[in-house]
Structures are given as structure tokens and as C-alpha cells.
Amino acid sequence: MKLESKVPEGPLAEKWTHHKATMKLVNPANKRKYEIIVVGTGLAGASAASSLAELGYRVKAFCIQDSPRRAHSIAAQGGINAAKNYPNDGDSVWRLFYDTIKGGDYRAREGNVHRLAEVSSSIIDQCVAQGVPFAREYGGLLDNRSFGGAQVSRTFYARGQTGQQLLLGAYSALCRQIGLGTVKMYPRMEMLDLVVADGAARGIVTRDLTTGKIESHAAHAVLLCTGGYGNVFFLSTNAQNSNATAVWRAHKRGALFANPCFTQIHPTCIPVSGDHQSKLTLMSESLRNDGRVWVPKKVGDTRNPNEIPEDERDYYLERKYPSFGNLVPRDVASRNAKEECDAGKGVGASGKAVYLDFAEPLKRLGKNAIVEKYGNLFDMYKQITGENPYTVPMRIYPAIHYTMGGLWVDYNLMTTVPGCFALGEANFSDHGANRLGASALMQGLADGYFIIPYTIGNYLANLGMAPVNAKHPAFAEAEKNIAESEKQLLGINGKQTVTHFHRELGKILWEYCGMARNETGLKKAKTLIPQLREEFWKNVNVPGEDADLNQSLERAGRVADFLELGELMVDDALQRTESCGCHFREESQTPEHEALRDDDHFAHAAAWEYAGAGKPEIRNTEELNFEFVKLSQRSYK
Amino acid sequence: MSAPLQQKTMNLKLKIWRQKNSSLPGKLVDYDARDVSPDMSFLEMFDVLNERLIREGEEPIAFDHDCREGICGMCSMYINGRAHGPLGGVTTCQLHMRSFKDGDTIVVEPWRAKAFPVVKDLVVDRGAFDRIMHAGGFVSVKTGGVPDANCIPISKPIADIAMDAAACIGCGACVAACKNASAMLFVSAKVSQLALLPQGQVERKDRVEKMVAQMNAEAFGGCTNTGACSAECPKLIGQEHIARLNREYIKAKVGSHTV
């Protein structure tokens, strides 16, 4: 398949302006003739649904939670980037663009990333106008802090709850539209199929999670804003119900899936404590503004950390990366933590942790300043571990956090299925092979507030205004397939729970397709995953009924999809024999153990095409043309 | 990876509310939880129990949960007569089994409030909160065309109090803890946040009137200032916000154009 990025020609800084000026418009009176479905109500979905309804489109929004306010965007802690340059420290649209392209290890489109940097400032303005209580200085103006991969302070924040406050802002805008009757909200509803007919997306089929009822919904366009697939690893920082079902089923209906092996491992999470563990908790990257990462110099040093003298500690990030220090990008920080632990210097009962120490900033800034900046994070750490981080250094270890891969979209955010768009973490577009901290919130809101309202008009204007309905036989067929698949899952009556299979899949992926990957391991995973999938369909036990609230059935469908997606991730990791960003192929590293790219062969996005059940997927590529930045070995030294 | 050796596991007796759906009656059912690690979260203890129930051919207990880090507001268990259990300032998902001891009996119920009907087992319908928000929990600005963020200076102390109020996660513990099942703390958090900020001034009166009207239209009870809501709020939202809501409401009503 030929992939057309549709990035406009012309100078980098004028592409988006020019595109906006030349796209077709839908006149205000005609907008109400179009129906748009938005699946997911996180930052991308809530901002898109409210913005499109404000313009006059008729919107239906769906979420799996009991309220749109609970989408997983709410858990983002640290902040949101914007090129405001309020601190006067040399920031600009170009610098945010450059940091993001470089941070992504040159595996994202220049045009998309520049547009993201361009609209970043408007996002902050929008959120403030909604009443989002960002942190302020005593003069009343907005405060900023620093995040990894940048040498300027461009991150806006609301204590350690920035995602919550931004989501509640978008949710409030959505509530206003629901109240006005322009958005019809469907909570506790899960999208189980994308309906494609006559070459375009025509709607979706959903399951009412309370009653089990399967329903069809027709629309002129479908927006998938359903987040990432990090939960494929079982243990991740994602919410328990985050899943890939909507994007995976769209993929099976023709939407290409790009760079599935690009999965971000966040360096600062609370380590695993036991087999019962259901999720991993992130400690915001903002902690690396002040916290210092170290391990004992001596292998197997089990002394209490406060008893280890300064000269017997290795502040390895500060030592190896003097210019960025503790604020190196996430992939670099994670890999270094793994390296230290693999060398036997890990701390804590499991030996799979490093220290994040606040003794020095507590002395320098005083406890009050630390409480002010990080109080809720310290409380959360204490609650989970039973240890007091004001007196004992935190123990942290990397965990799966975010997925840069996702549905392939063009510059207009449209997938390879006409009329089906993907926004936010659900798409692959802006972060390349590694996302910088505080950029996920920026991208989700950029897509929803400032990009889709323009690009969707261009699609709809070309589509015509014929009303839509769910009478096409493709809807009935999709409904029938879903009902049959549910009956099949409920009828297996095997001996293992859904969670068992999910946990086993997670172990395979973490071991062979996690922080470091090699050919032998990936090939092993490629035999193990199909075996596990086969066993799942023979031996899973899904209790209960289909016409009921049935959380086991919900999970079974999602894990069945993860068992397919997991294999595609391994395929993608196997084929990309270079290292880049988060994707570290042990065969491709510099003498200093940094990721070594192979630009001659892999300066492209790999977009996988579903070829039918049981058939290998087809690997398509979109070449990434770098006209404005020079590709170089990423260095944070 | 196993838990450190010095930690002993516990055996607990659970009494858990089971209810097939909103129209059938429910009852407390006894379960044993064996070999519970003190490092488990309360919900992980439920996960282990549910895994066992499935293996034994029983239907697992339905409960709401999602982020498991205390911010989404989805989890909602009434544990030993207290919303989110015995600790202050945490949600159920952040409660760990080290807060209990071997041999304890733990009673787990759903939120008990007419405005939050039980959907199944421990799952309730909190749609009433959303409907209050639809009525006025926002600043009516459209996307685009807003002033530069630094054109709206806000004093840090005011911004901080607004943030305290904005921290509400909409879990409903305040309603569950209140003997009248009043939603005043929830409503006051949003009214307070927006009444304090300059962005909220234009619609200040209209907002409080509309949100309170919707609150009254739902099946919540009245507020008698017992303070149980703040005592059980996982985000420690204080009574001063209810005081501010009352003040805002009176001021709005005195000068109302919608009497």
C-alpha cells in the first residue's frame, strides 16, 4: 500500500498556516447535517467532542467508564509543554519542535511535530480560560518547571495533578455541550467494531457494559481517541481498563498500525512488590528536577541507604550525562537503571530498583518547598510502600508507560480507512521512537482542540451531506460476529482465568520485547505468543452471561486482542534491526551502549496491514524525509 | 518475585454485598480471604478472591476500579462502615492490607445513597454527578479566541485554594458518608473553584443557581453540616467550600433574575 502523509509542501513554519487556508470548509448551517462519533473521552476525545459540537456538528461520544471524567488522561501527573517562553530562557516553537524530533530519535514527521509545537501555546491559553488552576508565581503569572530532554523550563503544571486538571477542563467543556444537547454522551459503552462499507467508515458497533446490549451507531466520521496499548504488558502504569480493542478492531477493518514496537518505559515507577501486583504506579518525571538518581558503587551493598557515604554512591546519570544529568530522556534513564541493576547494583528486596534521593534538595530548599512541589507524590509513595521518602530515598524502577506506536494517520489525522480518524495516544504521529515528558498532554489536546476541527471539515466537505443510517448490511454482520464471539468465549469453560493469560502474555513481552530486545529473544516470543493464544481459545474460563454487566467477558475480549497485537509488536521489533529511542536492539549499539540508529535502512515508519485471520501482516513503510533538521547521533552528554 | 520474608500473610473473613442487578434485592455473602499479603492493595485482595471464585465456578464480584492510583474516582467501596475504608485521605485503591490484621472481619458494601442506585454488587450509578456538571459546572468559553494565559493574573493564595477545591475526583464518598446522602461537598468543590477564579466571574451567579437546582432535582438529601463528607473525602476537601457554596447561593438568590 502506498502511504501518503499529505504533509503540505513549503517552508516548515508555513505548512500548517497554508494548509488551514486552503482546506475546504463546511458552512455553519450545513455542519448540523453531519454526525460524528467520538470514541474515548480522555484529553483527545473530550477536547475533540466539545470543539466539534461548538462548531455545530452533531456528536455522539462513547466511553467505557461510568463518566467521561474518569478517562486515563486523568492520571498524568507532571505537566504539559508549551513554547510560551514565559521564563525568558530561550525557548521557541523551533526549539520545542527540535527537542521533540530529537527526543523521538528522528522517527517522527517534521511537519506534524512542528505543527504540534506551533499550537502548544494556544492550548495553555485555552485551559486557563476554562479555569484550569495551573501553578502560579506570587506575581500571579504562570509558573514553569523543567522536564527530561529539554534545557529550558517549558512545562506548565497543576501540582502533581496536571492531567486531572486538564481533563476536568476538557470534561467541563464537554459537559457544557451535553447540557446544550449538541453532544449525546454514552458512558459504560465499549466500541467492539468499526463498520466500513463502500470504502469508508460508516459507524461503530458497541456493547452496553451494563446490559450487554449490542448496538449500531452510524456517522459520517469516526474519531478513535481510545489511548494507548501499554496494558498489553499486563503490568504497566495504565489504568486497569485501558485497552487496545477499539484500535485493534479498526486495524482489522483496514486501518494500518504503525510502529507497534515503540513502547515507552518510564524510568521512575514504584518497583514490583509481589505476585499479586495488578499495576505499577508512576512517580512523575518532575521529581527528576530535584531528585538525584544513584546506586551503591559496590555490588550487593545491602546497607541502609542513609548509611552509605557520599563517596560510595554512584550518581550514574550525573556522571555519564553531565549536560542533562538526571533530566536525560526517559529511554536513556530507563536503560541505565536496567544496566545498573543487571550489574548487581540494584537496591531493595528484589534488587530491581535504584534510589531517587531528595536529601540534597530537602537541605537546599527546605521541606516546605518540597511539599509544595511534590507533596502529593510523596504521600502516594508513602501510601504504597509504607516508607517515608522525606527521610529515606525513594526506590524506583522502570515500567511500561506509554505507546508511541498506534494507528497510522496522515497529516489530517485520518487513518488508512477514509472517515476514520485517530487522535492522541491512539495514533502514531508525533513522538517518533520516544516521547518526551509532558508532551502527551500537549499532543492529546492539540489533536482535539486545534487540529481535528480544521481537518475534519475538509473531509466532510468532500463527502456530501447525505444522511447516514445503520441499515447497511455491514452493521448487522458486525453485530452478529460480536454476538458469536461472546458466545464462544462464554462457552469455552476452561480451567484458567482471563487474568492468567494476560499475565503470561505480559511476562513474555516484558522479557523479550521490553527494555532491550534481540533476535533470539524476539524469535522465541514469536513462538510463545501464538501458543498462548491457542491455549486461551481452548482453556479460558469466562463466567457469567452476555446480557449482563460481566467484567470477565469485557476483559476476555480485550485480552484476546492483546494476544494478537502482542505478536505484531514482536514482528515489528524483529524487523527493525536498528536501535532507536525506546527500541533498543542489543545488536545495534554504540561503544558507550547508546542506541545506534541505522538511518540508511530505517528512517521510516513501519505501518502494518492486516491480511486476514491466520495470515502474516504486510509491512508497509512511510519514508521520513528530513528537510529541516540534520540527523545526528542523539547525545545528552 | 516474592514479598520479603519477615512479612506474615493474613487470613480474613469478608462479608460482601452481592446484588444481581438494580431491580433484585441484594444481601451480604461471607467469603474467606486466605494468605493475604500486607503489601497488597485492597483491590488486589479482591482480584485474588475473584480469581479463586472463577476457578471454583462462581461469578466474581463486580466492582468499579480503573487507575488504581487514587485519581480517577472510579473505585467506591464502603468498608467497615466507612467510605474508602479506615484511613483518611485515600481512595479504596490506595488502601493496603497492612491497615488490617490477621483474623479481621471486613464488611464491604456499595455506596448507599438513593441518588446512586446499585447497578450490580458493588457497582453504583453516579450519573447524577455528571448531570449536575452538565447544568453549570463550567466556564462557557469555546475553543479558540481566548486571551493569552498571562493576561489573567491570579494571586497565588487564591489559585492554591481553587486548586484545593479542583482536586475533587467525583468519587461520591461524600454522599456515601453523609447520613442524608447530600451532594453539597461535591457541588461546593466546583462552585468554589470557579467562584474564586477571575474566569468564573461572568457566570458566577447563574452557575451556582443552576448546579444547586440540578442537585435538588436529583435524589440527594439536604446538608445538615455534620462534616462527615470532609472527614471521608479522599482528597480532603474541606467544609469551607460548603460555607462558600452557601454564601454564593444566597448572594445569587438575593440578586437573581430567575426568581
Domain ranges in chain B are 10-120, 127-254
pLDDT at B8: 85
What residues in A contact B69, CB-CB < 8 Å? 75, 279, 281-282, 380
A132: phi then psi, degrees, rounded to nearest 5: -70, 120
In a domain, A202, yes or no: no
* pLDDT tens per residue across span A126-158: 999 999 999 999 999 999 998 888 899 999 999
Average pLDDT per block of 10 residues along chain A, 637 residues long = 96 98 96 97 98 98 98 94 97 97 97 98 98 96 90 93 97 98 98 97 98 98 98 97 98 98 95 90 89 96 95 96 92 93 93 96 95 87 92 96 98 98 97 96 98 98 92 97 98 97 97 96 98 98 96 98 98 98 95 92 98 97 96 86
Q: Does A241 touch chain B (CB under 8 A)?
A: yes
pLDDT in tens, A409-422: 999 999 999 999 99
What CATH number has the domain bearing residue A283?
A: 3.90.700.10
Whether residue A346 lies within 8 A of chain B, CB to CB, comes out as: no
Tens of pLDDT, residue by residue over A504-559, are 999 999 999 999 999 999 999 999 999 999 999 999 999 999 999 999 999 999 99
Predicted confidence at residue B259, as pLDDT, reads 55
Of A400, A422, A449, which residue is a domain's last? A400
pTM over 0.90? The answer is: yes
What's the ipTM? 0.97
Chain B residues lying within 8 Å of A380, measured CB to CB: 69-70, 94
Assess A512–B contact: CB distance below 8 Å, yes or no. no
The whole-number pLDDT of residue B258 equals 67
B66–A136 CB contact, under 8 Å: no
Residues of A in contact with B134 (CB under 8 A): 175-176, 178-179
Pick the CATH number of B127-254 from 1.10.1060.10, 1.10.3720.10, 3.50.30.10, 3.20.20.220: 1.10.1060.10
CATH number at residue A519: 1.20.58.100
Compare CB distances from B197 to A131, A141, A541 and report the shortest one's residue.
A131
Structural domains counted in chain A: 2
B139–A129 C-beta distance less than 8 A: yes
CATH number of B10-120: 3.10.20.30
Considering the domain architecture, whether residues A478 and A591 belong to the same structural domain is answered as: yes
- Is A363 domain-assigned? yes
Strand A221-224 versus strand A35-39 pairing type: parallel
Domain extent at residue A540 = 473-597
What pLDDT is stored for residue B16 in this prediction? 98
Judged by DSSP in three states, A355 sits in strand
Q: Do A74 and B96 touch (CB under 8 A)?
A: no
Which of A626, A348, A337, A456 is CA-nearest to residue A23? A456
Residue at A526 is within a domain: yes
Does some domain include residue A309?
yes
DSSP class per residue in chain B:
----TTPPPEEEEEEEEE-SSSSS--EEEEEEEEEE-TTSBHHHHHHHHHHHHHHTTPPPPP----SSSS-S-----EETTEET-SSSS--GGG-BGGGS-TT-EEEEE----TTS-EEETTEE--HHHHHHHHHH-S----SS-PPPGGGS---HHHHHHHHHHHT-----HHHHHSTT-B-HHHHHHHHHHHHHSGGGSTTHHHHHHHHHHHHHHTT-B------HHHHH-TT---THHHHHHHHHHHHHHHT-S--
Low-confidence ranges of chain B (pLDDT < 70): 1-7, 258-259
Q: What is the mean pLDDT of chain A?
A: 96
**A483 and A394 in a common domain:** no
- Across the interface, whether the CB atoms of B138 and A67 are under 8 A apart is answered no
Cross-chain Cβ contact A176/B127 below 8 Å: no
> Considering only residues 4 to 33 of chain A, which have any Cβ-Cβ distance to chain B shorter than 8 Å?
none
Q: Which residues of A are catalytic?
A: 330
Q: Do B59 and A541 touch (CB under 8 A)?
A: no
Q: Is residue A97 part of a domain?
A: no
Tell me if chain B has a CB within 8 Å of the CB of A124: yes
Whether residues A486 and A392 fall in one domain: no
Mutate to test the interface with B, among A240, A496, A501 (most CBs of B within 10 A): A240
pLDDT at A186: 98
A276 and A392 assigned to the same domain: yes
pLDDT tens digits for A287-323? 998 999 999 999 999 999 999 999 999 999 999 999 9
Does B127-254 match B10-120 at the fold level? no
Dump pLDDT digits (tens) for B170-184: 999 999 999 999 999
